[in-house]
Amino acid sequence: MMAVMRKRFSVGSPSLSEDSSGSLYDSASVSASDPDGEQDHPYASLLCCHRVQDSLLSSNSSFTKYRGILNWIIILLVLTHAHLLLENFIQHGFLIDVKKVLEHLIEDNCNWPSVNLILAANVFAVTALILERSQEKGLLLLTSTHLLHLTNLALLLLFPAAVIIHEPTISTGGAFFSLWVYAALGMKLYSYQETNRWYRQAHLTDAETDRNVSAPQVGALNEHLTFKDLYYFLLAPTLCYQKDFPRTPRVRINKLLHRLLEMVIVIQIMVGIVQQWIEPIFQRSENSFSSMDITMKVEHLVGLAAPTHFLWLLFFFLSHSYLNFCAELLRFGDRHFYGDWWNATTLTSYWDNWNIPFQKWCHRHVYTRLLENNASPSQAELLVFTMSAALFECMIALPLHSCRLWIFLMMVFELLVAVFLGNYFEGNYGNGLVWLCLLLGPPLAVTTYFHDHYISSPQNQTSSSPQTLDHHIRTKVFLQPH
């Protein structure tokens, strides 16, 4: 009985081991007023009930079981946003309209310039394959082939930009989709020619060490230069080329349908958030962000922070479903598309884990090459970061025909935060800083681009501000097709 009671009242020290707690208990017993000790006392286990230990929520505590607090936060967030959605529905009515989405995709007279633009991308892919075959057959010199590859890649980057700028009938959605396709194609083709050059260098090195290289071995080197191999790589969810990709044994139809259903549902939710939550905030504004006073800017940014963050999280999940859908369809084995970026304690760790295919490409074809050209690791990392920030800015600004550098400057600001505040925020505090930057960082800057694009569109401009209208007139205006 005494042993059970002693065990019951000695449980729960998160910061001290059983050995150390026992020594504290013994010292407390020895220091008691009874010189003979209290070991034989019938309430010996109740006489000493205190020990050295930290509060559970203090930074020195090793306590990590916060699941109950997480459940409470989830319930609170659901109730809070349910109230916001109900208030939005009462004020504006039901605004979700699929026709509005189709208006951003359907182009003039079904001419579909974005579809033609994507189909024209095959010319650049076939050109890269022809150049590689010519190089393998010895029809072109190494320097000539490299120069022609760079010319092909330069035209690949300039061609969609010229079409998007000068073609008035291309839709905003078509311009976005086309530009993203060309950006991925450019990185894939650069990796294609670079990796094949490495294969040739390795083959020449083997030929120099072994003069008895047979014709079948030379022919085996050219087996991967086929349309099937090229287009498998172009469709695969990766940016880095290699001869043999890891494959899964078969296509699992249930997983394929599961991913497809996820994409359909997530897209519907994203459309609902944009039309029901974000668009009314846009309609309450008459001026662009650049012409607003500081109070109005803060008010709009605070109102857009939550829906923008939800859109960003849904876009991440949509990317997860799409990449896994492509991988399952093509039996592509490497599905490490992202790390646990949600647990990142620094912005650097987040950047390394949120998009693994892009990080692999940057490290393989940019960072490593900069180190080979005598750049220091810090300089190489800075150049890679600057390149990715500029690319992200162009991918958003070009289809919207507006370049305000908001995304680029926001990413530079995050870099400064990582450099100057990274050492002061560690552990849970560092993770909190990462989530704060995700909430108020580039996703919000992207939304400001769309805000100004929405305001500048002639069909969205009204003669009076919605704030001056009563509820019924506002609802009528909001329900008009744009």
- Domain containing 28 equals 2-14+21-47
Half-sphere exposure of 221 (CA within 13 A, CB side): 22
pLDDT for 170-225, tens place per residue?
Answer: 888 889 999 999 999 999 999 999 999 988 888 777 655 655 555 445 555 567 88
pLDDT in tens, 329-353: 999 999 999 999 999 999 999 999 9
Residue 297 lies in a domain: yes
**Amino acid identity for residue 365 in this structure:** H
pLDDT computed for residue 168 by the predictor: 83
Q: What is the mean pLDDT of the chain?
A: 80
> Is 106 among the domain residues?
no
Q: Which segment, 23-37, 129-143, 279-293, 468-482, is predicted with the most confidence on average?
A: 129-143
Q: How many domains does the chain have?
A: 3
Question: 12: which 2 tokens?
Answer: 């729960």
Q: Among residues 57, 65, 49, 60, which one has the least CA distance to residue 15?
A: 60
Question: Given this model, what pLDDT does residue 223 score?
Answer: 77
Q: Is residue 66 one of the residues assigned to a domain?
A: no
* Residues comprising the chain, all counted: 482
**Same domain for 163 and 27:** no
Is there a single domain that holds both residue 306 and residue 408?
yes
Residue type, 424: Y
For residue 98, the model assigns a pLDDT of 66
- Cα separation, 263 vs 314, whole angstroms: 10
Q: Collapsing DSSP states into helix, strand and coil, what is residue 482?
A: coil
Phi then psi for residue 247, to 5 deg, are -120, 150
Is this prediction's pTM over 0.85? no
Higher per-residue confidence, 10 vs 239:
239
Give the separation between CA 128 and CA 148, rounded to whole angstroms: 9
- Interior/surface letters 402-427, b for 16+ CB within 10 angstroms, e for the rest: eebebbbebbeebbebbeeebeebee
Name, in order, each residue with C-beta under 8 angstroms of 424's C-beta and a sequence gap of 6 or more: none
Tell me the range of 93-102, 247-256, 442-451, 457-466 where mean pLDDT is highest: 247-256
Residue 191 in domain: yes
469 within a domain of the structure (yes/no): no
Whether 53 has a pLDDT exceeding 70, the answer reads: yes
Cβ partners under 8 Å of residue 225, min gap 6: 129, 132, 133, 136, 196
Q: How sure is the predictor about 468, in pLDDT bands with cuts at 50, 70 and 90?
A: very low
> Could you tell me if residue 427 is left (phi over 0), alpha (psi between -120 and 50 degrees) or otherwise beta?
left
**What pLDDT sits at residue 76?**
83
Pair (188, 278) in one structural domain: no
Residue 56 lies in a domain: no
Same domain, 308 and 422: yes
Does one domain contain both 231 and 294?
Answer: no
Residues 201 and 258 in one domain: no
pLDDT band at 392 (very low <50, low <70, confident <90, very high): very high
The answer to which of 97-111, 114-128, 431-445 has the lowest mean pLDDT is 97-111
Q: What percentage of residues in the chain have a pLDDT greater than 70?
A: 79
For the residues 15-20, what does the mean pLDDT come to?
A: 40
In a domain, 101, yes or no: no
Q: Distance (Å, rounded) from C-alpha 140 to C-alpha 382?
A: 36
Looking at the fold, whether 271 and 403 belong to one and the same domain comes out as yes
Mean pLDDT for the stretch of residues 27-47: 56
Residue 104 has pLDDT above 70, yes or no: no
Clarify whether residues 264 and 171 are in a common domain: no
Is pLDDT at 23 greater than 70 in this prediction? no
Q: Are residues 273 and 214 in the same domain?
A: no
Query: In the prediction, which pLDDT does 35 show?
Result: 44
86 or 188, higher pLDDT = 188
The pair of three-digit structure tokens given for residue 38, joined into one six-digit string: 């209290």
Give the distance from CA 18 to its chain's centroid.
Answer: 45
CB atoms within 10 A of CB 147: 12
Average pLDDT over residues 433-449: 89
Instruction: Report the SS3 class of residue 249.
Output: coil
Q: Are residues 225 and 328 in the same domain?
A: no
Residue of 451, 448, 477 whose CA lies nearest to 462: 477
Inter-helix orientation angle 172-209/113-136, to 10°: 10
> 464: which DSSP letter?
S
Question: What pLDDT score does 427 carry?
Answer: 83
Last residue within a domain, chosen from 180, 200, 235? 235
